[in-house]
Structure 1
Amino acid sequence: MLTALSIRDVVLIEALDLDFGPGLGVLTGETGAGKSILLDALGLALGRRGDVSLVRGGAAQAVVTATFDAPAAVVALLEDNGLEVEPGEPLIVRRIVKADGGSRAFVADQPASAALLREIGARLVEIHGQHDDRGLLAPAGHRALLDTFAQTDAAAVAAAHGAWRGAEGELAAARVAIDAAQRDRDWLEHAVGELDTLAPEPGEEETLADRRRLMQRAEKVADDLTAIEAHLEGADGAMSHLRQAARVLERVSEDHPALADALAAVDRAVIEGAVAEERLRDAASALMHDPRALEDDEARLFELRAMARKHRVQPDDLAELADRLRGDLARLNAGEEGLAALEDRVAATRAAYMAAAEALSAQRVAAAARLDAAVAGELAPLKLDAARFRTVVATLAEGDWSAAGRDRVEFEIATNPGAPFGPLAKIASGGELSRFILALKVALAEEGGAATMIFDEIDRGVGGAVASAIGDRLARLAGRAQLLVVTHSPQVAARGAAHLLIAKSSDGVVTRTGVRPLGDADRREEIARMLSGATVTDEARAQAARLLES
């Protein structure tokens, strides 16, 4: 809801601060007083084009500030666009247009683009005027309006559409993958054959490399053992000399008991030497290997590394690569069967979407008939009894089907008997258009629309009973949303919960437009002026009082 509007230096308005409340507010004034300036200023705050012609002569800039009680959807929109808004706090939007052509916008004291301001403004305020091309005149929104009127639940259609499009996406991806795999079939079969022949195992390269190093080192150790064996064994080996020494000591120790300890030590040396010989033989036996084993390991190692280079992977990843390529080949071979299953799924999900969309279409067609009847009931009192209204529900081409169903919805009118139906904006004249919009608003009784609606001269060219009917319908709408109405009709003005008078004044040098709220007495006087013209009579005042009382 719009709660306040502050205007500085906009055309003829030098400084103006207004407060607004709920219900129906009416704005009146003589022709040329500047009612359009007020709406232009509000439009500026809502993101409409900032023209330098709006800047008051001699001023550096025009500034318009509007304050709203913002609904949660608008707060969420602002947060999605990176603007911080305190929940529950008034939402302040400000637009500045400089005399040199520059323009700036602020939302909650944070810089914002004019595009974001327009998006916010469309959710906060609906302006219905003789040249309005938004809101009910935009066919893009007619389907949502009809769904709101019908209270349809499109969740099933949205879910079915998501499942269908998801299945189509999987089928398309599978076809692309299979097409690519088909082109690579020969390569896949060759690569899998090579890897199967090689049969690599994880960790095999490290095992082979370690074994190869051991065998290469063993050859050098074997040479050293041979040299050691030559020192220990043979005619001139250490063991031969020890044994000879032992025999001599054994013989002479019989005559010289003092040599017994020496003989025991030599015997021990012979025994330890024999142990050393045995250990050396064991070691030599352990280090012995078939030269062909080294050659085989080296050949295997080179094959693994060459295959890894060929596929640009590490040798340890060859086994995983082989598994992956076998899987690709298996999927390729089973591709047609998989595609058939996906095609069946696409067909099934499409059928489910069609069923849900058909049910939604039936709801819309039934609701369209009810809406047409409701609007028709509103036309005659609004002096549109020769006009006809219809809601067209047509099936879209399949490429345009969406989560909202497969229907195009558009409101059409024919203003004269025998005339063809056509879009609201192209068929109706200015006054007719505003009354059609009012009839639609009353018939739709929509929930979730903008909290503030503005009607600009909806009663132009009508009077008497028609003006009274317009006032009655505006008052009914004001029970659901805040309404501001620029009017020339006393019957409409009398229905307002608040009344603002727009007047122009001049000191001979500067002309200014001002706005002031009217109390009961001033309000009766203004409605009397609207009834009688320049000269306000007692009879007009009495009629104004009767209108206010009724």
Structure 2
Amino acid sequence: MLTHIHIKNFAVVEDIAIDFDAGMTVITGETGAGKSILIDALGLCLGDRADSSSVRYGADKAEISASFDLHGLAQAQAWLAKHHLDSDDDLVLRRIVTSEGRSKAYINGVPCTAQQCNELGEFLVDIHGQHAHQSLMNKKTHRHILDALIADTSYLHRVRELAHEFREVKKELDALTQGNSDNQEAKAFLEYQVEELQSVILSADELESLEQEQDLLSQGETLIKQLSEAAYHCEQQSDGLRQTIRLLESGLKSGLTSEAYELLNSALIQVDEARRDIERRSDKLELNPERLVEITERLDKVYELARKHRTQPDQLAQKLQTYELELEALLGADERITELKRQLTHIQAAYGGAAEALSGQRKAAAEHLQSEVHDQLQSLAMGQCRFGIALTPHISEIPSPYGAEEIEFKIATQREGELKALAKIASGGELSRISLAIQVVTAQQAVTPTLIFDEVDVGIGGATADIVGQRLHGLTSHSQVLCVTHLAQVAGQGDHHLLIAKHNDDSGVRTVIERLSNEQRVEEIARMVGGVNITDQTKAHAAQLLRQYS
């Protein structure tokens, strides 16, 4: 629970420190005295947005620190341990706001973010504001109130997760399919190009070999004739060399012709070998017009595709590889689209199951809230009213993070009247009491150690005010209650009483907070009952109120 708060240079507060106890603490003061300053200051420690306007005029910075006793608060202690901010049973939140608008936050002296303070604050304090009845006009508020009554929030979180996942997958799918028609045209074009190139594609070695074969086949008849003549001349040369060699044989003994003999003999061997090679190659050559036509047509296609793709014939293989990679990317996009559609179907099925389970929880929570609010309205002089909660299914192709139904609070001011939207049928005073009834019920369900009610009794008076005080005090059985009020009947039921007043002196306007004794409480409650003119009669009435509720 909240044990202490120290406020310095905040709004019109110069420097105040207040201790808090268990039970119900009421906070009163004249209109404009700044009764909500305590709550606003605490809100800053709990992560509310800060700006320079909250700094007292003339001061460099505002500083607020709030201390809490965490005894028995397992969730808060677990959060601190998770963020390596372990403590025993004591917690101090501190917030500093400079006149330039800069802000710093601390948890147990360790710098942290306002968001972290907000997360931790959810385990510590629940603030019910004076304008809660106005927010009842918003269906979003109705959903928040009802969902807060669900003990097992796993389906609530699951629905939100699946809805978010669906939107992310759908976003990717839409991006892929947005230009799907263009992709199909590109895919058809690439498939044609790849097929065409694959039908004629040649490696560099194959291209060179075919070009050589084409050259041979196209010159076949001429080459055969030329080789035949070359072989004949080689034969003639061989005969001449043999005759010459025989003429030199007589000079071999003297060594006169031995060198020439060896050279001519070697030449004869080479000429004979050349002739035999020419004859072998000539025998292999054949005239094949069909093969020549086949090779020529294929090479013509290669040269044509090279011109078409503006590249060299030996670079067509590289061009084919480029097209294949582009086609693979498009085919991969088609596969991804198929996979994303499968994912969406799976997510929708999972969402449907989680949303159905959440709907069941909401229906049970709605029945409970309707019954409890009805009981509260009975005691708040609205027993003739009927409070209802409409759960209206909404059909949508896109899963909603808020579940499968719209939630709306409705009221009938007569027992047999038709349930209608609050905005259409309830007056301001009725809305205040309906709001208070709902807040009391939801506060009873809460496990938050400190409950703060900031003038939630607006629009309520008379005998109903007694009941309001009783309901608020009844919450002290499980929580510490702080209540800013303007009703004497509510103030009289507090276990502790703080008075907020605004003083004017040479240093300017400043707000002070004072813990009241029993005698001082009589004076303050008398003021609340009788206004400016406090008489013995109003004091007696105030004393009677305190005795009645003590």
Question: Same fold by TM (over 0.5)?
Answer: yes
Given the alignment of the two structures, is residue 35 of structure 1 paired with residue 35 of structure 2, yes or no? Answer: yes
CA offsets 1:329-379 (integer angstroms, 9 cap, x no match) = 9x99xxxxx99xx99999999788667756654553443232211111122
2:367 to 356, 366, 369: 369
1:394 to 373, 392, 395: 392
1:527 to 521, 527, 530: 521
Question: Given the superposition, is the C-alpha separation of residues 318 and 147 from structure 1 closer, same or farther in structure 2, using an over 3 Å criterion?
Answer: same
Q: What does residue 299 of structure 1 align with?
A: 300
Given the alignment of the two structures, is residue 14 of structure 1 paired with residue 14 of structure 2, yes or no? Answer: yes
**1:72 & 1:305 partners in 2: Cα distance?**
77
Match for 1:271: what amino acid? Answer: I
Contact 1:25 1:484 in 2 (8 A): yes
Match for 2:409: what amino acid? Answer: F
Match for 1:393: what amino acid? Answer: L
Q: What does residue 385 of structure 1 align with?
A: 383
Contact 2:200 2:298 in 1 (8 A): no
2:411 to 407, 413, 426: 413
Contact 2:76 2:120 in 1 (8 A): no
Deviation (angstroms), 1:394? 1.9
CA offsets 1:45-66 (integer angstroms, 9 cap, x no match) = 76579695x665x626673545
Q: What does residue 484 of structure 2 align with?
A: 486
Question: Given the superposition, is the C-alpha separation of residues 358 and 259 from structure 1 closer, same or farther in structure 2, using an over 3 Å criterion?
Answer: closer
**2:2 & 2:135 partners in 1: Cα distance?**
18
**2:413 & 2:251 partners in 1: Cα distance?**
151
Match for 2:372: what amino acid? Answer: A
**1:111 & 1:477 partners in 2: Cα distance?**
32
**2:505 & 2:28 partners in 1: Cα distance?**
22
| Secondary structure of 2:303 counterpart | helix
Match for 1:303: what amino acid? Answer: E
Contact 2:234 2:275 in 1 (8 A): no
Contact 2:231 2:275 in 1 (8 A): no
Higher deviation after alignment, 374-383 or 284-293: 284-293
**1:74 & 1:240 partners in 2: Cα distance?**
117
| Secondary structure of 2:472 counterpart | helix
**1:66 & 1:426 partners in 2: Cα distance?**
43
**1:232 & 1:120 partners in 2: Cα distance?**
107
Q: What does residue 58 of structure 2 align with?
A: 59
Q: What does residue 249 of structure 2 align with?
A: 250
The alignment-based identity, stated in percent, is: 30
Question: Given the superposition, is the C-alpha separation of residues 448 and 9 from structure 1 closer, same or farther in structure 2, using an over 3 Å criterion?
Answer: same
Q: What does residue 146 of structure 1 align with?
A: 146
**1:62 & 1:280 partners in 2: Cα distance?**
108
Length-normalised TM-score, structure 2: 0.64
CA RMSD of aligned residues (A): 6.2
Contact 1:431 1:459 in 2 (8 A): no
Q: What does residue 457 of structure 1 align with?
A: 455
| Secondary structure of 1:248 counterpart | helix
**1:447 & 1:526 partners in 2: Cα distance?**
35
Q: What does residue 316 of structure 1 align with?
A: 318
Question: Given the superposition, is the C-alpha separation of residues 103 and 295 from structure 1 closer, same or farther in structure 2, using an over 3 Å criterion?
Answer: same
**1:140 & 1:423 partners in 2: Cα distance?**
14
**2:193 & 2:55 partners in 1: Cα distance?**
81
Question: Given the superposition, is the C-alpha separation of residues 441 and 309 from structure 1 closer, same or farther in structure 2, using an over 3 Å criterion?
Answer: farther
**1:353 & 1:539 partners in 2: Cα distance?**
61
Match for 2:513: what amino acid? Answer: V
Question: Given the superposition, is the C-alpha separation of residues 324 and 420 from structure 1 closer, same or farther in structure 2, using an over 3 Å criterion?
Answer: same
What is the correspondence of 1:103-118 to structure 2 with a 5 Å cutoff? 103-108=101-106
Match for 2:519: what amino acid? Answer: E
**1:448 & 1:304 partners in 2: Cα distance?**
78
What is the correspondence of 1:80-119 to structure 2 with a 5 Å cutoff? 87-88=85-86, 91-96=93-98, 103-108=101-106
| Secondary structure of 1:35 counterpart | coil
Length-normalised TM-score, structure 1: 0.64
Match for 2:521: what amino acid? Answer: I
Deviation (angstroms), 1:408? 1.0
Contact 1:489 1:530 in 2 (8 A): no
| Secondary structure of 2:403 counterpart | coil
CA offsets 1:165-222 (integer angstroms, 9 cap, x no match) = 899889978986775578x49x94x8756764554477x2534454478779999xx9
| Secondary structure of 1:385 counterpart | coil
| Secondary structure of 1:398 counterpart | coil
CA offsets 1:258-295 (integer angstroms, 9 cap, x no match) = 86787567545543554466567778999999987885
CA offsets 1:480-538 (integer angstroms, 9 cap, x no match) = 6554211345665576576533234444774432124x3xxx54334333454556979
Question: Given the superposition, is the C-alpha separation of residues 257 and 51 from structure 1 closer, same or farther in structure 2, using an over 3 Å criterion?
Answer: closer
Q: What does residue 501 of structure 1 align with?
A: 499
Match for 2:35: what amino acid? Answer: K
**1:6 & 1:513 partners in 2: Cα distance?**
13
CA offsets 1:282-337 (integer angstroms, 9 cap, x no match) = 78999999987885564243233245459xx96435378479879999x99xxxxx
Question: Given the superposition, is the C-alpha separation of residues 348 and 547 from structure 1 closer, same or farther in structure 2, using an over 3 Å criterion?
Answer: closer
**2:471 & 2:278 partners in 1: Cα distance?**
117
**1:210 & 1:33 partners in 2: Cα distance?**
101
Match for 1:500: what amino acid? Answer: L
2:439 to 438, 441, 446: 441
Match for 2:390: what amino acid? Answer: V
- The aligned length equals 508
Match for 1:457: what amino acid? Answer: E
**1:242 & 1:72 partners in 2: Cα distance?**
118
Question: Given the superposition, is the C-alpha separation of residues 175 and 294 from structure 1 closer, same or farther in structure 2, using an over 3 Å criterion?
Answer: closer
In structure 1, list runs of 5 or more residues that go unmatched.
78-84, 333-337
**1:73 & 1:280 partners in 2: Cα distance?**
101
Contact 2:97 2:104 in 1 (8 A): yes
**1:343 & 1:415 partners in 2: Cα distance?**
50
| Secondary structure of 1:59 counterpart | coil
**2:2 & 2:457 partners in 1: Cα distance?**
23
| Secondary structure of 2:149 counterpart | helix
Q: What does residue 80 of structure 1 align with?
A: none
Deviation (angstroms), 1:409? 0.7
Match for 1:302: what amino acid? Answer: Y
**1:38 & 1:380 partners in 2: Cα distance?**
32
Q: What does residue 531 of structure 2 align with?
A: none
**1:492 & 1:95 partners in 2: Cα distance?**
34
Deviation (angstroms), 1:128? 3.3
**1:162 & 1:150 partners in 2: Cα distance?**
21
Deviation (angstroms), 1:247? 1.9
Deviation (angstroms), 1:140? 0.7
**2:482 & 2:243 partners in 1: Cα distance?**
133
**1:511 & 1:175 partners in 2: Cα distance?**
66
Match for 1:525: what amino acid? Answer: E
CA offsets 1:398-447 (integer angstroms, 9 cap, x no match) = 36862433311122335577777555578666665554334223433587
Q: What does residue 335 of structure 1 align with?
A: none
**1:72 & 1:209 partners in 2: Cα distance?**
81
Match for 1:514: what amino acid? Answer: V
